[in-house]
Amino acid sequence: MDQAKEIVARVFDIPLRDVTDDLSRETFEKWTSLNHLLLVSELETELGIEFTTEEVLRIRNFGDIEQIVLSKSRR
């Protein structure tokens, strides 16, 4: 999950320590719809995974990202 955390920090231009499970679209103003798509694209490219449309829509916070990425790494 460290790599996903680093990607989130870079996309949102925030310190790594600020990337917690609670970092969410509802409470973090830099998490715009455009940055959401950029984040998904960066995660897919750097982690070598693909998100389904349902998964993209389900992501509301970093905890959701962790769960989805973890589920894909088990496959």
Characterize 28-61 residue by residue with b for buried, 16 or more Cβ atoms within 10 angstroms of its Cβ, and e for exposed: beebeeebbeebbeebeeeeebebeeebeeebeb
Say if residue 58's pLDDT is above 80: yes
Is-above-0.75 flag for pTM?
A: yes
Say if residue 75's pLDDT is above 90: no
Mean pLDDT of the chain: 95
Give the range of the structural domain holding residue 17, as residue numbers without chain letter. 2-73
Residue 73 has a pLDDT of 82
Distance CA(71)–CA(10), nearest Å, equals 23
Count of structural domains within the chain: 1
Distance CA(1)–CA(69), nearest Å, equals 8
pLDDT digits (tens, 9 = 90+) for 17-39: 999 999 999 999 999 999 999 99
CA nearest neighbour of 38 among 22, 17, 59: 59
Say if residue 1's pLDDT is above 70: no
